[in-house]
């Protein structure tokens, strides 16, 4: 498809997946509102319909919990057969939500939408500022350990089946998990999705949360899984910087946010694997997980430059046709089509590319943007792509891939936040 047509086609994907006050990631496979998908959708909408972008973000924050947590899924409408649905989560909320969170890209996207038209955006950013602050405060009090962000379920990271979680997942007891039917396998080939063993463990973690009444202290002390995710730490650090910039333009105090930035910046050092790269850590064992991938390459996006990470990035550029693979192709578990164990995801590419450009690594930033463009041109607005040959995988007509095209990858887009 010619480039100009792709701009219009991306807009159409966002319109088709628009359910009025929120967008679904894609019809059928993901029929609800997802947290970080929505933030990216807002960024995409901001290129052609700024009021609709604000609606997306405001709907997301309307589902915020009293403790400040913003859930990873909001079940606005019943979708028969979706698994795990509201009953499994048992959070007792209206509209129903899941009981876990997702990567906090929202502050960054609020800032991006604000910048698209500051005059129009001011009252919206002003209204969203306090909810954003409360969400970040929830992370800092409930989840930050040694300056790193702890996750209680792999789904919180948005990188569901990444190799990062394998060792910690292996220790999760699944004896209480009864038979269930997965709907995802009706839509997507099994070899492109997580395995049954992984799914059983995901459910065991959900059951623990539900039985604890989604009590953070109980989950922290006795929960089956607690890993410090390098991706979440970098994303929260960046989001705090953007929240601080918003505080400045809105005339709000910045001291508390400055304290968070300092803490997370120090925490990034605790993600440094002595083997020479940023890595996640199992907080139960203290072990590094040994998985270099696209999450670690968010260091620049978080404002941290690092020569060894750049050298790894350059090595990987030479190993794949399309950057940025979700896992190092030299890792034994690398699989170019299995979800977060190898494929390229346009949303993470945008964040990595923006970070590289801001850090002054222009040639690498251009490579990431060109590759993302080529993948979408070649295969359409798919959920993810093979880094080896660009094969499209997962769901099609995907909101966030279209949003990234419109906001960042298209030659018409500005390429920054």
Active-site positions read: 160, 383
What letter would DSSP give residue 25?
S
Q: Which two tokens stand for residue 96?
A: 């129903």
Q: Which of 350, 394, 385, 356 is nearest to 369 (CA)?
A: 350
Residue of 10, 18, 23, 30 that binds ligand GLC (CB under 6 A): 30
E strands, 354-402, are 384-385, 392-393
From the list 33-41, 197-205, 237-245, 312-320, the region that binds ligand GLC by CB under 6 A is: 33-41
The reply to whether omega before 324 is within 30° of 0 (cis) is: yes
> Which range binds ligand GLC by CB under 6 A, 34-42, 47-55, 237-245, 254-262?
34-42
Nearest to 29 by CA among 43, 20, 17: 17
Min. distance of Cβ 325 from ligand GLC in angstroms? 15
One residue of 22, 34, 139, 297 binding ligand GLC per CB under 6 A: 34
With the C-alpha atoms ordered 9, 15, 18, 22, is the resulting torsion angle positive or negative?
positive
Question: Toward ligand GLC, which CB reaches closer, 54 or 398?
Answer: 398
* Residue ranges of E strands in 85-177: 144-145, 148-151
CA pair distance 156, 103, nearest whole angstrom: 7
Total residues binding ligand GLC (CB under 6 A): 7
Does residue 160 touch ligand GLC according to CB under 6 A? yes
* Distance, CA of 303 to chain centre: 18
Closer CB to ligand GLC, 162 or 304, in the complex: 162
Query: Vertex 37, ends 301 and 181: CA angle to 5°?
Result: 130
Minimum distance of ligand GLC from residue 310's CB (angstroms): 26
Which CB sits closer to ligand GLC, 27 or 377? 27
From the list 31-39, 85-93, 204-212, 314-322, the region that binds ligand GLC by CB under 6 A is: 31-39
Which 8-state DSSP code applies to residue 83? T
Residue choice 14, 25, 40, 63 for contact with ligand GLC (CB under 6 A): 25
Is the Cβ–Cβ distance between 100 and 153 less than 8 Å? yes
- Which pair of structure tokens corresponds to residue 284? 């139960």
Which x/- pattern over 347-386 shows residues binding ligand GLC (rule: CB under 6 A)?
A: ----------------------------------------
Query: Which residue, 273 or 399, is less far from ligand GLC as judged by CB?
Result: 399
Stretch that binds ligand GLC, among 30-38, 105-113, 229-237, 279-287 (CB under 6 A): 30-38
User: What whole-number distance in Å separates Cα of residue 207 and Cα of residue 374?
Assistant: 42
In the complex, what is the shortest distance from the CB of residue 34 to ligand GLC, in angstroms, rounded to a whole number? Answer: 4
Which CB, 160 or 328, lies closer to ligand GLC? 160
Judged by DSSP in three states, 271 sits in: coil
CA distance 248 to 253: 8
Q: Which of 112, 98, 100, 105 is nearest to 39 (CA)?
A: 105
**Under rule CB under 6 A, residue 342 binds ligand GLC:** no
The verdict on 89 binding ligand GLC (CB under 6 A) reads no
Q: Which is nearer to ligand GLC, 25 or 353 (CB)?
A: 25
Using rule CB under 6 A, residue 158 touches ligand GLC:
yes
Chain residues binding ligand GLC by CB under 6 A are: 25, 30, 34, 36-37, 158, 160
């Amino acid at each position: 498809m010619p480039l100009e047509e792709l701009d219009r086609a991306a807009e159409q994907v966002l319109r088709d997946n628009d359910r009025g006050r929120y967008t679904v990631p894609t019809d059928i496979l993901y029929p609800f509102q997802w947290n970080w998908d929505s933030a990216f959708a807002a960024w995409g909408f901001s290129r052609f319909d700024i009021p609709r972008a604000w609606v997306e973000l405001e709907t997301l924050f309307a589902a915020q919990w009293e403790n400040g947590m913003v859930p990873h899924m909001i079940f606005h409408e019943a979708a028969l057969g979706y698994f795990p649905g509201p009953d499994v989560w048992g959070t007792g909320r209206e509209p129903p939500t899941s009981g876990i969170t997702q990567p906090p890209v929202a502050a960054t996207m609020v800032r991006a939408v604000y910048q698209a038209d500051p005059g129009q955006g001011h009252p919206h950013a002003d209204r969203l500022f306090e909810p954003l602050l409360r969400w970040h405060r929830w992370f800092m009090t409930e989840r930050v350990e040694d300056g790193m962000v702890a996750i209680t379920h792999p789904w919180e990271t948005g990188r569901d089946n990444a190799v990062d979680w394998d060792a910690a997942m292996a220790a999760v007891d699944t004896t209480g998990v009864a038979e269930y039917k997965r709907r995802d396998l009706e839509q997507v080939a099994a070899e492109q999705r997580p395995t049954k063993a992984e799914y059983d463990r995901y459910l065991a973690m959900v059951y623990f949360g539900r039985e604890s009444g989604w009590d953070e202290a109980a989950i922290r002390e006795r929960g089956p899984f607690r890993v410090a995710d390098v991706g979440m730490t970098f994303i929260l650090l960046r989001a705090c910087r953007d929240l601080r910039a918003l505080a400045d333009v809105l005339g709000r105090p910045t001291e508390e946010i400055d304290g968070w930035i300092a803490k997370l910046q120090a925490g990034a050092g605790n993600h440094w694997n002595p083997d020479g790269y940023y890595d996640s850590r199992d907080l139960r064992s203290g072990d590094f997980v040994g998985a270099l991938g696209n999450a670690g390459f968010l260091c620049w996006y978080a404002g941290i430059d690092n020569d060894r990470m750049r050298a790894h990035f350059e090595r990987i550029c030479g190993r794949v046709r399309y950057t940025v693979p979700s896992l190092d192709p030299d890792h034994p578990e690398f699989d170019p089509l299995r979800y977060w164990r190898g494929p390229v995801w346009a949303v993470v590419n945008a964040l990595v590319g923006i970070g590289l450009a801001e850090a002054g690594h222009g040639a690498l930033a251009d490579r990431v943007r060109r590759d993302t463009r080529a993948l979408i041109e070649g295969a359409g607005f798919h959920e993810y792509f093979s880094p080896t040959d660009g094969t499209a995988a997962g769901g099609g007509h995907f909101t966030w891939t279209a949003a990234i095209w419109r906001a960042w990858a298209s030659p018409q887009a500005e390429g920054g936040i």
